Structure 1
């Protein structure tokens, strides 16, 4: 299952490692990643395209694990199924 993950919050060290660690533990693969630091307030923004191995961890499990990691980092972490994400932006 393909999914889009968005991470947003104040920049700090270890964010990419923490998110990638959760994904690795869940058997997910990072297919593409983009990140940037926005403005002088040092706002961190990252978007990932990932492939979930639902035999290892289903969508809800990954979502819960990412939300908990985001909370511990003080960041917003959202995951959406790619098909839902694409449908939201079709005209």
Structure 2
């Protein structure tokens, strides 16, 4: 298997982790996974072999744009998942 990953995955996971830590009530794993999937499907893929190499080649402006895009997509996904929680959906 190739050793590649979507750079946005770690950005999204990091932001969700911080959101969960700051929450007065811990978010469920299912909730976080649903949000992460919705977010990553909204963001453009950015595949890398090494996240450190990608970070080293991003300008501050590019990194800020990526973080802002992830934050916006997270807010939208949270609203959507709150409207239709995982437990309320048919499998």
Q: TM-score, normalised by structure 2?
A: 0.32
Of structures 1 and 2, the larger Rg is shown by 2
Q: TM-score, normalised by structure 1?
A: 0.32
Decide which structure has greater helix share.
2
